[in-house]
Structure formats: structure tokens, C-alpha cells
Structure 1
Amino acid sequence: MNQTLETSTRKVILSMLKTQGPLSVQDMAKQLGITEMAVRRHIHSMEKDDLLEAKLVRQAMGRPTNVYTLAPQADELFPKKYSQLTLDLLDELLEDEGQDKIERLFEGRQGKLEARYQSRMQAKSLEERVAELAHIQNENGYMVDWSAQGDDAYIFNEHNCPIAKVANTFQQACQCELALFRNLLDAQVERTECLAKGANKCVYIIRKNK
């Protein structure tokens, strides 16, 4: 079975479980028109990825059988409109409360992120802090790489922005990220390229404080 078909069948199984609820291997094989062995191969793969949960169910006749449901982690694979909801709420807030309220909202978020991550920066050199910040941002989906540029200077690239739709409309998101980096790194940080302004990535130049 080629990779495209493997991926397609996996998606169909996930969709079936999402829309129909618990299903056995036999149920899935019948609907998909493939063998139970093929279904079990997909099931095994998705169990390894923590996408499915199995439950042993007794039947009126015959041996108990496993039925499968989606694990909570699988919910992230289905379309979400979080960014649009966030934009709608921010637009309402802007209309009702004005620009100052938006500024305070993003500054509050920045403060919470600083409090959350500050302990991870303690007792580290600047290079170690840059590495830790990259780890933090990768945990949050920013697809970071970085490199040293001479003594106490670094280039920090973010190839993805999980909040791009929000940042495109509300530049406060980008301003607060820049301030967050400066405070966490205790360093000079300059942004030279920005995804929200049409660049292919966000680029930060980091230098040791003089």
C-alpha cells in the first residue's frame, strides 16, 4: 500500500470515529472495504501516536471485542476556528473599550508569559538563554532555528507563527513578543524581518547588553 493511500485511509478512520463514535475493527473494515488485518495495521500505528483508545466490550455471542474511540489528543487533528474567534473577540473589545484596552490585554499576556518562563532562564549564559528560548518557542509551534554570529551575538529565526492571523491585525502581538524576548534574554533584541509584515520568517538579532 503506497504512502498516499496509507495516509488517506488513516484520515478516513479518524473521521469515521469522530462522526460515528466507537467502532470495532470489523465495523471499520466493512465500511472501508479493506481487510481487518489492514485496519489493525492502521489502528496499531494510531495507538502508538496516542490518537486512539480501546475498550473491551462483551457481546451477546462470541468473545469480547475491542472497540475504538478517539483519544483527547486526536481532537487537535480536526479543523478549528480559534484564530477567527480570537479576532472576533478582539474586534468586539476594540469597538467597546478602545485601543488602550487592547494594549493592556497584550501587555498582560506578555507579563504572564514572562512569569511562566523566567525560572527557565536562571543561572544561564546568554547563549544558554537563547537555546532555552528556542526550546520554549518550538514547544509552542514557532519552528525556530538559531546560530551564533561572533561573540555574544545570535540570529534567531521563527519560520512559523501560530498566532499569525491575530498578529496580522493586531501589531501589539509582535511588539509584546519583542519585549518578552528582551526581558527573558536580558539582552538587546532587534527584529529585522516579520511574518506579519509579509516576510518569510521572523528574524531577530540578539546581542549582549553593553
Structure 2
Amino acid sequence: MSHNLEDYDSALWLLKKKGPQILANVASELQITTEGARFKLQKLATEGLVTSTTKAKGRGRPQQIWTLTTAGHARFPDTHADLTVKLIQLIRTSLGEQALQTVIDENEKSGTLKYMDLLDGYSDLENKVNKLAKIRNKEGYMAEYQKLENGYLLIENHCPICAAAQTCQGFCQSELNTFQKVLGEGVNIERVDHILAGARRCAYKIFVN
């Protein structure tokens, strides 16, 4: 049975989007009491979706840090994961790596054209990054952007193609190439967080020298 992300518990959303949180932060973000937040998290813990660790903080009482488990992350769907992985493996074994790369390249071309069309008319870099984040958010990446002192940070808190990317990391490079093309010449993009490298999110620093 399929679900929309909105169907999932608000605490799961919070931990997915903002990473590990202390109880007080969960209560504040969800605008509920501390006891209410504790009950919600403990319920999710019994379902194996979240877990907590204790972290010492100076001389005060140790803080309990709540985070998603692997099962918790899995509640956020990976678009057509099984079928996608199977198709990638079939292309690789039946037609070879070059054929798979051709598929990746063609997908990159169509994605780039789509984004360029949607970004048409946006000349300011911040407006482009803001629009790109909105596009990626609609595509299921739980995307947002932050302004830095010397640029911007495009954050993707979820990867709906994670299974495909794990099977063929060429998709990750292709996304980076697409961002570079649609944001224009003279714009530098660095991936500073990567889900496949163990980070909880993918994040890209975008700046102009």
C-alpha cells in the first residue's frame, strides 16, 4: 500500500529534515509539550523507527538525542526502487557499462532541458537556487536552501532515487552536472554532504569566486 509523505508522523518528518534532535527541540518544533513529544518518540521507538543516544554536555545532565533508524529512513519512499535497480542491472549485464552510461547521459540531457525551461527568466543566482530547491522539493528530495556568507547551500534531506544511485553512482555525478549547467558558467558547486557517503542528507555549496 503506497502512502504520501504527508501521511507519516510529524516527528519522523522533523528528524528526517533536520537530523538528530534533543527532546526539547522536538517539542518546540512540533508545538507540543515535552511529555507529548516524549510519548510520540517512545511510540516510534517501539516500532523501530527512531532511536535515542545519550550525550554528555558539560556539567549538566546528559542529553538524550533522538534520530531515525534505518527503518525510519525507509518510511520515506525511494521512487520505484526495486524496478529501477533491476533495470539498471539488466542494462549493465545485457548491454554493458557503455549502454548504461548512455542512458545516464540521456537522462541528464532531458533533466537539464526541463530545469532550464523552468528557470527561464531567473537571472539572479539566489532566485535560481531558490527556484531549483522548489523544483527538487516537488520531485521528492525534501529540498531547501540556505544563504551563506559567501554563497548558498542547497540541501536535499531525502533522496527518492537512492537505490538507483547506490547501484550506479553515475546518477549522482549526473545530478551535479545538471546543477552546474542550469546555474550557469562562473558558478561553483561543491557537494559537501552525500547520503551515499554516510551523511544524513545531500548538500551542495553554491558560490561565485
* TM-score bracket, shorter-length normalisation: 0.5 to 0.7
Change (3 A) 1:130 1:96: same
Listed as ranges, the matches of 1:17-36 within 5 Å are none
Equivalent pair of 2:79/2:160 in contact (CA under 8 Å): no
Tell me the equivalent position of 2:149: 150
Q: Normalising by structure 2, what TM-score?
A: 0.59
C-alpha distance after superposition, 1:82-128 (max 9, x if no partner): 21111111101101111111111111101001111212222321000
Structure 2 residue ranges without an equivalent (≥5): 1-6, 8-76
Distance 2:80 2:118 in 1: 28
Listed as ranges, the matches of 1:125-204 within 5 Å are 125-151=124-150, 153-186=151-184, 187-204=187-204
Tell me by how many angstroms 1:80 deviates.
Answer: 9.3
Distance 2:92 2:78 in 1: 23
What amino acid is aligned across from residue 128 of structure 2 in structure 1?
R
- 3-state DSSP class of the match of 1:123? coil
Tell me the equivalent position of 2:91: 93
Tell me by how many angstroms 1:81 deviates.
Answer: 8.1
Listed as ranges, the matches of 1:85-124 within 5 Å are 85-124=83-122
Change (3 A) 1:81 1:175: closer
Higher relative contact order (CA 8 A, sep 6+): 2
Equivalent pair of 1:134/1:146 in contact (CA under 8 Å): yes
Distance 2:205 2:78 in 1: 34
**How many residues are treated as equivalent by the alignment?**
131
Equivalent pair of 1:158/1:202 in contact (CA under 8 Å): yes
What amino acid is aligned across from residue 148 of structure 1 in structure 2?
K
Equivalent pair of 2:78/2:162 in contact (CA under 8 Å): no
Change (3 A) 1:131 1:81: closer
C-alpha distance after superposition, 1:149-179 (max 9, x if no partner): 124x111110000001111111011000000
Tell me the equivalent position of 2:36: none
Equivalent pair of 2:156/2:201 in contact (CA under 8 Å): yes
Change (3 A) 1:127 1:106: same
Distance 1:192 1:202 in 2: 7
- 3-state DSSP class of the match of 1:207? strand
- 3-state DSSP class of the match of 2:163? helix
Equivalent pair of 1:168/1:197 in contact (CA under 8 Å): no
Counting aligned pairs with the same residue, the percent is 28
Distance 1:81 1:165 in 2: 9
Q: What is the alpha-carbon root mean square deviation over aligned residues?
A: 1.9
- 3-state DSSP class of the match of 1:141? helix
Q: Which has the larger radius of gyration?
A: 1
Distance 2:78 2:148 in 1: 39
Tell me the equivalent position of 2:44: none
Q: Normalising by structure 1, what TM-score?
A: 0.59
Change (3 A) 1:80 1:121: closer
